[in-house]
Amino acid sequence: MTILDRIQGPRDLDALSLEERRMLAAEIREFLIAEVAKTGGHLGPNLGVVELTIAMHRVFQSPRDPMVFDTGHQSYVHKLLTGRQDFSELRQREGLAGYPQRSESEHDIVENSHASTSLSWADGISRAFAQTGQRDRTVVAVVGDGALTGGMTWEALNNITDDNARGLVIVVNDNGRSYAPTIGGMARFLNSVRTQDTYLDLQEGSEKLFSRLGKPGRSLYRGVRGGLHGFLSRASNNDHLFSNLDIKYLGPIDGHDLEAVEQTLRQAKEYGRPALVHVITEKGRGYAPAENDEADQFHAIGQIDPGSGTPLAKSSGRSWTSVFRDRIVELADERPEIVGITAAMLAPTGLDRFAERHPDRVFDVGIAEQHAVTSAAGLAFGGLHPVFAVYATFMNRAVDQLIMDVALHRAGVTFVLDRSGVTGPDGASHNGVWDLAMLQIVPGIRIAAPRDEETLNEVLGEAVAIDDGPTVVRYPKGAVGEDLPAVRRTGDGVDVLREGGDVLFVTVGPMAQVALDAAEILQEQGITASVVDPRWVVPVAESVVELAREHRLLISIEDGIRVGGVGTRIRQALRDAGVDTAVSELGTPDEFLPHASRGELLADAGLTAEQIAADVAAQVRGTKIPVARPTAD
């Protein structure tokens, strides 16, 4: 039996010697490499926090002392130490979630995987403990250095320092990276600490000196280690960053030194007031393929060969992101006013080639989506056309700025939403199902949803040519399907993919293929259907209204929430035009979808060709509401 096999809960760590804890750390790394290689997931971040997580669970009494991870992708070690060691179905339906999840364990506090929120959570929890007399409880927030680029972190720090008579420990897991290398002034400051000769020379010199004195010297070194770290931080001027915030600073600490991390965390806990522990770690630690991966240290991987780190599954086709990557470079070459913006996700969103070709025209603002959007409004005012490429779920964070700074000022800004709609394995907080419902309420906005590679190239070119208001181009995660040619295009740009007299399918993006398949099934039952792709789904094209007038039933299909989605806007447009054709709006439910594959979640929502065809056939026959309008004869 391995040491890891014996760990069923955090308190099983208490009896382990230092040597056993080091062995446990090695076993955890071996486990993660072997298991995550089979399923895919966030490998690099978790390899970097093994010792830190062991030390945290030794010092603090979870769940009595709540632990908040920012973000939750670095919680795999936490799951292992809290009794969850079946990783065989990680991020799959009914398997372990890739992020903390309350339904899994009482040790999981915050499920949200969006960065820079942990200190606000910790502020609220610790205030509640103080207010209710639970002053013997400590809240621990683990925040990556990348999350320090987010504005919420600094808003929280401001409030924490305003009322600091409470047990709160902030652990800055400083590995110099968010998804990719961390950028900005804060990153430069922490990097100077991480590499400063004064700190490194003093640390290494003192260790060698005490080691020469044998066992008594090493014992003495351990005894004075806490004071030494305080001296080192002052020698390197690092305590200046937090001194004015009235938060005790401890560090920097080697995050892979179990003894040092544990001792420093105990000091922070015993301090009894907000304290910040600066821990320097290495993303991908202990796994050469991750350590040597310059892109992101295996931040998130698919299935890989654990020995070499090479992917096992070949791509099933060209991805939506890669199509955007190539097209934005073409457009940037043609139009010098185009600039790119990313929120710490240059390569994942496909702006990396643009940055390589035109390095002075792509701006990485860090994990600061709100700032990115308002800054884009300023760039537009200055005569440029910003293209902000961002995951759809993270666009949620900047809706106010889109409304008040971009749309109100009629700024020509293009938002490219990657991973829109149902994404699947990363769970509730990563699904991009809210964008259509949220963004279509913005006055003057134009939203495009390409169905294939050709239409993505087309609508992106159209979007960056619009300079009197915001434009959005949204597409899902994964591979682009086969091109779906149009039978004809209406005068206002709507593509007709199939023509029939009974049912009109109005589709959003790649849901066009589902509609075409459903139309084939209906044809076998004697029901004819038209399928149209508006390309620009907001505002509703006049030709969609006129086509609806000619059909008995309209079915809208989108992979976003149906409450307030594009279907509801089409219904309103028909009502305003006096068209009484029945409308059935299909989409995802207004629920937080669990982690599962995209196909499984779409099937759960009834968004398969078979289910749609069955429902539509019943509506045409008059046995299901809404009932299709009777035929003219």
Distance, in Å, from the CA atom of 435 to the CA atom of 437, rounded to the nearest integer, reads 6
Catalytic, 283? Answer yes
Closest CA to 182 of 325, 33, 297, 36: 297
The one catalytic residue in 285, 325, 397, 446 is 397
Chain centroid to CA 394: 6
Residue 267 identity (one-letter amino acid): Q
CA triple 165-168-173, angle to 5 deg: 145
Strands (E) across 152-222 are located at 168-174
In which element (H, E) is residue 537 found?
strand 536-538
Handedness of CA 296, 297, 298, 300 (dihedral sign): negative
Sheet of strand 168-174: strand arrangement: 67-70, 139-144, 168-174, 275-280, 248-254
Distance, in Å, from the CA atom of 299 to the CA atom of 179, rounded to the nearest integer, reads 7
The token pair at 566 is 């594009």
The one catalytic residue in 369, 453, 558, 585 is 369
Residue 436 identity (one-letter amino acid): L
Catalytic, 208? Answer no
The one catalytic residue in 58, 84, 91, 283 is 283
Question: Which residue has tokens 């200190």?
Answer: 119
Closest CA to 273 of 369, 382, 177, 162: 162
Q: What is the end-to-end Cα distance of the chain in Å, rounded?
A: 78
The token pair at 441 is 């309420």
SS3 500: coil
8 Å CB contact between 64 and 82: no
Query: What's the DSSP call for residue 404?
Result: I
Catalytic, 397? Answer yes
Q: Catalytic site residues? A: 283, 369, 397
